[in-house]
Amino acid sequence: MPLINMPDFAGTLLDEFAARATERVDTPVIQPAEPFLDMAGEDLRRRIFMTENERGASLCLRPEFTIPVCLRHIETATGTPKRYAYLGEVFRQRRDGANEFYQAGIEDLGDTGIASADARAIGDAHAILGRLLPGRTLVVTLGDQAVFEAVVKALGLPAGWQKRLIQAFGNPEQIDQLLKKLASPNPVQGLDPDIVAMVSSGNERALIARIDETMQATGYSTNASRSPVEIAMRLKEKLELAETRLDGAALLLLREFLSLELPLSEASAALAGFADAAGLRLGPALSRFDERVAALANIGLDLSRINYRAAFGRPLDYYTGLVYEIGIAGEPAVLAGGGRFDRLLTLLGAENHIPAVGFSLWLDRIETARTAR
């Protein structure tokens, strides 16, 4: 039995989903916790409600729908392309105090027309909100994690630093802390100088032997979760990350990119100009960005009313490209949010690559906006 009431506009939502050739799907409220802990990101991990079954397996109350819908698609071996719609309760600690609320949305799986699928997702979310909130001015904020990744890679940072920065995308405070570390690297403290010398000289054989000898002497090897080789590789990566310094010009470029904010109608030219001036090769990422802009224009959305922010991301680790949110002009509440998650289904166990994009609607916030109107 639901603990909160279904919004009175739920029937309208279901009509909208049906008109968009979606299949209504539901998923169990109790979910395996591992996929959310591994793939959803730190922000969601610390806000989910955990429990265990009688065998000690970690479970959780459903904190969102994207992962459960993808798991169900894999388990039922349904072909693609496939459009799923959902409407139901989710459970997680939210900053506004709500722990249980309704979400609805669409997950678009397997459409290889990436730009058109992205545009359709934004267009559907925008149109549904327009019907639920007639007369209100909707504002779309759009980012692109793939463009950020291309900039980071073009700067030539070590893979470990690229991973750190990409995982922090959309978190301005965390990005700023990482950039400060890149500006003024701090050496790792407390390491044996001989170990540091072996790592610095690239003498991996001697390093592995030294670690093995230490593990044998301390008895740690009998229950170690990592082998001497794995520990040596981790030490090497740790020292490399600690000693990496990005020169001032490159740091300025990265900060300049993250400061870009302008109407989407001007974004393609601005990104191309940035790449040319910086001497960075961002070709494929910019091409995909331009294709999406064209697709949005083709479905009739006003590009001057969509705000592109280069630093904008959403706090879920599984996003890979487009990310966006929709709200009402002048109001802080996010009413809809979504993006592209092309790697998620493979990570969840799908045998073949399945491109995917979708969005969620926060029904309690929409209800508040309707009541206020």
Helices (H) and strands (E) in the chain, counts: 16, 12
Strands of the sheet containing 138-144, edge to edge, are: 23-24, 82-91, 100-109, 356-362, 334-340, 322-328, 138-144, 306-309, 261-263
Nearest to 150 by CA among 136, 169, 131: 169
Long-range contacts of 124-131 (CB under 8 A, 24+ apart): 124/20, 124/359, 125/324, 125/326, 125/336, 125/338, 125/359, 125/361, 126/301, 126/326, 126/336, 127/16, 128/13, 128/16, 128/336, 128/361, 129/326, 129/335, 129/336, 129/361, 129/366, 131/12, 131/16
Binding site members for L-histidine: 64-66, 92, 103, 107, 314, 318-319
Alpha-carbon distances, residue 3 vs 6, 104, 105, 200 (angstroms) = 10, 17, 21, 59
> Around Cβ 111, how many Cβ atoms within 10 Å?
19
Binding site members: 64-66, 92, 103, 107, 314, 318-319
